[in-house]
A = this chain, B = another copy of it.
Amino acid sequence: MAGYVSEAVIKRLPGYYRHLRELEAAGVVQISSQELGKRMQLTASQIRQDINCFGGFGRQGYGYKVSELKGHIGEILGIDKPHSMIIIGAGNIGNAVAQYPSFIKEGFQTVAIFDKDSQKVGRPIGNQTVRTVSELEEFLMSTHVDIAVLAVPVPDAQHMLERLGALGVQAVWNFAPTDLKPPKEMIVVNVHLSDSLQILSYKMTHCDEK
């Protein structure tokens, strides 16, 4: 059980959680690193090493208790507690995020949606109504939010990031296809959908030569 956890391990955690959730739903109560490895296309060794970054959750000769391990990883991911989100940009992406059922199930709750376009302001999205982005300061003054979802056009993204930072927002989930320079102490995770699509294009173009 180490102090430092590498980025590689962190990126695998949601995968563990997803599989454990599916296993639990299927009524599986116990699983060995070998079985889980077969399911997740990882070696048993790697699974044991990953899990032991956080503590010995297994029992020798038995394996891991699915619900227990899922609980631990949920805690480690920080999704055992609910998170409040605001969405900046009520376009297609903003819309999709606001209504994506998995997020709500996992405790990520959208508490407000903002847009600068007056045509969009007032429209209902999910259980929210789109607000003017000029109300942002006022809103954040009175309400604490954990995460801001940035779904604005590229030219507005950096400026909005800094505006959010100044208002005390610490975490941003960015959908603008650009590399933002996060102010200190701000955490930004990018989605970059185009990157993912371009990788698909790369693999299509080069799949034969292998």
Contacts and interface: CB of A to CB of B under 8 A. Distances in A.
Interface in A84-140: 92-93, 95-97, 99-100, 102-103, 106, 108
A78 B200 CA distance: 9
A197 B193 CA distance: 14
Most buried by B among A77, A179, A187, A205: A77
A141 B93 CA distance: 32
Contacts of A205: 76-78
Which applies to chain A's interface (DSSP): helix, strand, loop or mixed? helix
A199 B190 CA distance: 10
B187 A203 contact: yes
A92 B103 contact: no
B202 A10 contact: yes
Contact of A204 (B187, B195, B199, B207): B187
A157 interface: no
Contacts of A194: 14, 18, 102-103, 106
